[in-house]
Every structure is written in structure tokens, then in C-alpha cells.
Structure 1
Amino acid sequence: MSRHPHRPLAAALAAALAATALLLGPVSPAYAHNVLRKATPAQDAELKKAPTRITLEFLQKLNPSFTTITLSDADKQQVTTGEPEVSGTKGTVTVDTPLANGVYTVAYRVVSKDGHPVQGSYKFTVADPTATAEPSPSPVASEPAPTPSATPSAEPTASTSPAASGSADGPGTTALLAGGGIVLALMAAAAVLLLRRRPTGGDPTR
């Protein structure tokens, strides 16, 4: 009779566990969620020159139909980029416009092999020492306020010409009176002369 009756049972149990481990081993990585492995520019990087491409590398291959990569500035305004170019586990977008100095955010969304969507984001900074500040817009000269037109003054009163004046004290009346006085003076002088020439009460035959 064997002194160790439980040894065959323990060996069988160990063999079963080893077989189970071999079966489960390959299955777990196949259904693991996809994760970001490497990024260029890297997370929290401070770049002396603005990048023209953004490349993200994941653990698993990417589905081009379900890969999205976007870039936005510090004001959360989206920066224009090209469509994602997918090659195996890498996704790349080109930056269509030069990036000014500042903080930028890369956001991504991919789908893992088990159909589970994976998304995330990170930031990097552009600090180009040779970049010049954008020129501030020149102030637009404001148009001068229109000068109010002067109120037309009242029409001047037409001056009355001396010839049309009906006043008795006008120059025409004065000249007429002066002429009449002279005529009267001449007539009076003539009457006096006639009176002096007439003979006084004596005989006319003398």
C-alpha cells in the first residue's frame, strides 16, 4: 500500500491549473483595451520650434475609420489639421497653419480590438524664442463728426432807395422845395422892379 495516497491527486490538479493558465494567457492581451504608448510631441513638452506633425503610437493597431486626433489652442479654439493618417499602431496628423507661442492640447479617440472606445488628451507648449509677437492691429481713425451747418440768417431787409422813398424829408423833396423858393424870390424881385417903374400920381402928359 502506498505511503502517499494524495500525490497522484495533487499532480493531476497542478496539471489542470497549468493547462488553464496556458489557455487564458493568450486571451487576456487580445481583449485588453488600447492605450497610448508614445506621443510626438510628448506630453508636457516645451518646444523651441512649432511642430508640423503630431504622431500618436498605441499598443494595438488602429482602425482608420474610428481614429480621431485633434489639436486646440489655449482658448480652446480648434487648430486646422489634416485627416489622420493611420499606419499600424500609429496615427499622424499634419498641422496646416504655423503655431504661435502658447499652450496646445492634443485630444484623441480610438477603438480597441474589443470594440471599446478609448480617448484621452495631453498638453504641450510652443516657446520659440525667435518668434515675434503678432502686430497689434492699427487703430482705425475715427471719422470726424460732421460739423453742423450754420443756420441761414434772416434775409437782409432791402434798403429803400432814395428815389423810391415816400418820405417828405427825402433829398428829392428838399431839392424841389429849394427850387420853388428860388422861383418865388425871382418873382418877388420882378414885382418890386415893376412897381418902381410905374409913375406916381402926377400928370401923365408932363
Structure 2
Amino acid sequence: MTDFVFPPAAPRSLPVTGGTGRFPIGRVFCIGRNYRWAPDEPAPREMPAWFMKPATAVVPAEGLLPYPPGTEDFCHEVELVVAIGRGGRDIDPAHAEADHVWGYAVGLDLTRRDLQQQAKRVGGPWEPAKAFDHSAPCSPVVPAAICGHPREGSIRLTVNAAERQHADLSGLIWPVPELVAMLSRSVTLMPGDLIFTGTPAGVGPLQRGDVVSASVAGIGEFSLTVTH
């Protein structure tokens, strides 16, 4: 038995739709711009940038969402989330879904936008803008055995019942297999890793008291109330 100097924290996990087990969370990878935000936006020639959030940023998407400290521009970004069940390095995109993706969820990549803009101006890291507590609310994970591997379907977010973001998963510039392969060329993916796949146009600020609702067709939906 390992003699820890203090009790280690319990592993983070998410509930699984249709089962009693839980999905253990490893690392959280977040993909940058992966939808066209304007109809005439040219297709990118290079894969999108990515960054990370800690597993501790992931919380069940239910109930209250604390407004974070240190910001006056707290923004929502709804995303399809990929849950990795089998890891690997240099994964072939043709085998990524069938061999490595365990399931899918709906998540929010919450952002302290003012801190992100400050970081961009000086070339600083994005962790203060992206990696704060409660910055990755996530729905239960739906096993791919139940939902398949979605390539189309509505992705939507409303604030106080007013639509802010609405697109189709078919609009992903780089689809899930390519994202999994890209990440695996840089790091060895592991079971429990989550991949937030990018957000459609329409990101915007949240205020205290707002009710934010998000959904991906066939995967899940949730509502949160922003609190103090």
C-alpha cells in the first residue's frame, strides 16, 4: 500500500447514460477554431491549435454555474465532447472512431475572454483564461454503442431562451477522426481523455442570473443558472 503524505483526491468522473458506471476523466484537450464563423471564411490549411484544461475543471452540467473571479467578460462556447476509451500514438484516422472513441457528451468551454485577449496581446499562456474552476461543465457520456459516431446533427446554445449559437456537426472543419489523429501525433492519448472539438459562431458573455442551455442532437442537453 502506498504511503501518501495526505489522502489523494478522488478521481474526477462523469455519469454514463444508460448505465450505473462512471467515465473516469484523464486529461482535457480543447480544440481551437473548428467551425467557420462566417459563410465566406476560407478553409484553413493547417490543423487547429489546441490547449488543455485540468480534469478538475470538469463538473456535471447541472444546477448552478459559479461566475468566476478575475473577469468581467465570462463567455460560453458549446462543444461536442469526445470521450477516449482506448489510447494510442500516431492513430490512423480511419480507425480512430471504431478503435479509440468510447462515447460522446455535450460540454461548455467557458472562457474569461478579457484574460484571453490580454494573453494574446503579450503572447502569454491561456491557462488563466481557460483553466479555472468549473470551466468545463459536461453532460453524461453517451456510449458510442448507443449513439454511434455522430457526423451531423444540431449543436445549439441559448441564454435566457434566446438563441446564441446554432450549427450542425457536419460543419466541423476537422472531423473527430482527424482531431484524434492530430492529438495522437503530439501526445500519447490515454483512456479517460476528453476532447472538446471546437465551438460554432455566436460565442458571447454570460451575466449573473442567466440561464444557459446547451444541446447536441442525439447526445444530450442541459441547463445551468449562472450564480455569484
TM-score interval w.r.t. the shorter chain? under 0.3
Structure having the larger proportion of residues in helix: 1
Task: Pick the structure with greater CA Rg.
Answer: 1
